[in-house]
Structure 1
Amino acid sequence: MKRLSQLGLAICTIMCGLTSSAYASQSAGLPPVPEFLASRDIDSAAIKVQMVDDEVLANQTGKYAGGTMISGFVLNVISQWQLPNGANALAQGTLTAVQNAAGQLASTVNTLARVTDGGFGNAGANSGANPNAQASGGQSISVNGVSQVTQVAGDRNIGANSALIDFNNNAVSPASTANAPSAAAGNSAGSIKAGISFGSNGVSVALQTPAGLATQTITTSNGQIAQLLQIAGNNQQVANQLQLHLQTQQMSAAMIRQLGVLQALQNGRR
Structure 2
Amino acid sequence: MKSHLNPLGLVLCAVACGASGAAHASDGAASPPTLELSVPHEPAGAALTVQVVGDDVLAAQTGKYAGAPMISGFVLNVISQWRLPNGVNALAQGTLSAARNPAGQMTSSVSTSASVTGGSHGHGGHPGDWGANPNAYANGGQSVSVNGVSQITQVAGDRNSGTNSALIDFSNSAMTPTPTAPANTPAAMASNSTGSVKAGISFGGNGVSVALQTPAGLATQTIAPSSGQIAQLLQIAGNNQQVANALQLHLQTQQMPAAMLRQLGVLQALQNRR
TM-score interval w.r.t. the shorter chain? 0.7 to 0.9
| AA aligned opposite 2:248 | Q
Deviation digits for residues 173-213 of structure 1 (CA, Å, limit 9, x no counterpart) = 24467211000000110100000001133110000000000
For the structure 1 residues 197 and 94, does the alpha-carbon distance in structure 2 shift closer, same or farther, using more than 3 Å as the test?
same
Q: Which position in structure 2 is the counterpart of 1:43?
A: none
8 A Cα contact 2:12 2:63, kept in partner: no
Q: Which position in structure 2 is the counterpart of 1:83?
A: 84
| AA aligned opposite 1:25 | S
For the structure 1 residues 142 and 79, does the alpha-carbon distance in structure 2 shift closer, same or farther, using more than 3 Å as the test?
same
For the structure 1 residues 4 and 37, does the alpha-carbon distance in structure 2 shift closer, same or farther, using more than 3 Å as the test?
closer
- Confirm whether residue 199 of structure 1 aligns to residue 201 of structure 2: no
8 A Cα contact 2:14 2:230, kept in partner: no
Gaps in structure 2 of 5+ consecutive residues: 37-53
- SS of residue paired to 1:9: helix
Q: Which position in structure 2 is the counterpart of 1:223?
A: 228
Shift of 1:14: 2.4
Shift of 1:118: 1.1
Instruction: List aligned pairs for 1:1-270, cutoff 5 A.
Output: 3-15=5-17, 17-27=18-28, 30=29, 33=31, 35-36=33-34, 66=64, 67-120=68-121, 124-175=127-178, 178-268=183-273, 270=274
Gaps in structure 1 of 5+ consecutive residues: 39-51
TM-score of the pair, normalised by structure 2? 0.81
Instruction: Report how many residues are paired.
Output: 244
- SS of residue paired to 1:171: coil
- SS of residue paired to 1:108: strand
Shift of 1:75: 0.5
Superposition CA RMSD, Å:
2.6
Shift of 1:254: 2.9
- SS of residue paired to 1:255: helix
| AA aligned opposite 1:98 | A
| AA aligned opposite 1:143 | V
Identity %: 65
- Is the deviation greater in 196-205 or in 76-85? 196-205
